[in-house]
């Protein structure tokens, strides 16, 4: 029971890190380092104490591991204790680490699969809407379609950053209707949805607005797609 709860806490923390990430690719490096160079080294060399010690102030680790917010929490959940800027895994915490390795492996596999798909050409199914299409959107909502509307602007840097991911996801999640609106040129649709900033995503489910979120947050967008899917 305790092992199951530990795995759940570790998984919840990983999910939070992914959700809060602005760019999924940026978190793969630190998590891979944690998995391959720390966790697996300990697993494969259980009697070697040198692999169980991590110096928090090591310059390389600062840049490549601790650059990711949430790493200290993952280490703590995996059984590491912090004393004088050094993380150490003691013998009695070894099984904690073993329980967390599988969870981290699965999440990394999922992230790698996602980024692989994201770099390949998928059929784009995003539909562009203007103020002339208000009734079309209303009909989709009344039909209780799952919809994500991406409000953006040509001059918006974050919009350009998240747009490729939005279009890629439209090819992955076929049961979701992906729509985009050039917000600064289609004021009426913007007013209906109370758009005050770009990018803004409006999520419809079961005939009503389920969620509205702002910013070029790829992790959040993927989470919403998974929820609707």
E strands, 143-199, in order: 147-152, 177-182
Nearest to 87 by CA among 114, 115, 66: 66
From first to last of its 229 residues, the chain has per-residue pLDDT tens of 568 899 999 999 998 888 777 677 788 889 999 999 999 999 999 888 889 999 999 999 999 999 999 999 999 999 999 999 999 999 999 999 999 999 999 888 887 776 655 555 455 689 999 999 999 999 999 999 999 999 999 999 999 989 988 988 888 788 999 999 999 999 999 999 999 999 999 999 999 999 999 999 988 998 999 899 8
Alpha-carbon distance of 31 to 7, in angstroms, equals 16
pLDDT number for residue 185:
94
Alpha-carbon distance of 51 to 42, in angstroms, equals 6
Residues taking part in catalysis: 156, 159
Stretch (H or E) spanning 201: strand 200-205
Structure tokens at 51: 């692999």
Pairing verdict, β 177-182 and 147-152: parallel
Q: Which domains does the chain have, with CATH numbers?
A: 1-121 (1.20.58.2190), 126-228 (3.40.30.10)
3-state secondary structure of 146: coil
Nearest to 180 by CA among 223, 165, 121: 165
Neighbouring C-beta atoms of residue 71, cutoff 10 Å = 22
Q: What is the CA radius of gyration of the chain?
A: 21
Residue 65: phi, psi to the nearest 5? -120, -60
Model confidence pTM above 0.75: no
Q: What is the pLDDT of residues 76-131, one digit of tens each?
A: 999 999 999 999 999 999 999 999 999 999 888 887 776 655 555 455 689 999 99
Alpha-carbon distance of 154 to 1, in angstroms, equals 53
Alpha-carbon distance of 91 to 166, in angstroms, equals 46
Q: What is the DSSP letter of 217?
A: -
Neighbouring C-beta atoms of residue 77, cutoff 10 Å = 21
pLDDT number for residue 191:
96
């Amino acid at each position: 029971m305790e092992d199951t709860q530990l795995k759940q806490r570790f998984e919840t923390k990983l999910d939070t890190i992914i959700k809060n990430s602005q760019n999924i690719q940026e978190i793969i490096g630190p998590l891979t380092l944690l998995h391959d160079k720390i966790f697996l080294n300990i697993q494969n060399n259980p009697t070697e104490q040198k692999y169980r010690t991590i110096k928090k102030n090591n310059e390389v680790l600062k840049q490549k591991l601790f650059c990711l917010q949430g790493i200290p929490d993952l280490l703590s959940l995996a059984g590491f204790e912090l004393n004088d800027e050094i993380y150490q895994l003691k013998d009695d915490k070894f099984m904690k680490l073993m329980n967390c390795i599988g969870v981290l492996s699965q999440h990394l596999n999922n992230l790698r699969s996602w980024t692989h798909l994201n770099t390949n050409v998928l059929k784009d199914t995003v539909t562009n809407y203007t103020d002339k299409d208000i009734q079309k959107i209303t009909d989709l909502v009344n039909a209780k379609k799952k919809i994500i509307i991406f409000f953006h602007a040509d001059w918006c840097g974050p919009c350009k950053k998240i747009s490729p991911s939005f279009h890629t996801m439209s090819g992955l999640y076929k049961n979701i209707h992906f729509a985009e609106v050039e917000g600064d040129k289609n004021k009426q649709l913007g007013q209906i949805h109370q758009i005050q900033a770009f990018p803004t995503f409006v999520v419809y489910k079961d005939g009503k607005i389920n969620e509205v979120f702002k910013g070029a947050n790829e992790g959040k967008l993927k989470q919403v797609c998974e929820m609707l899917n």
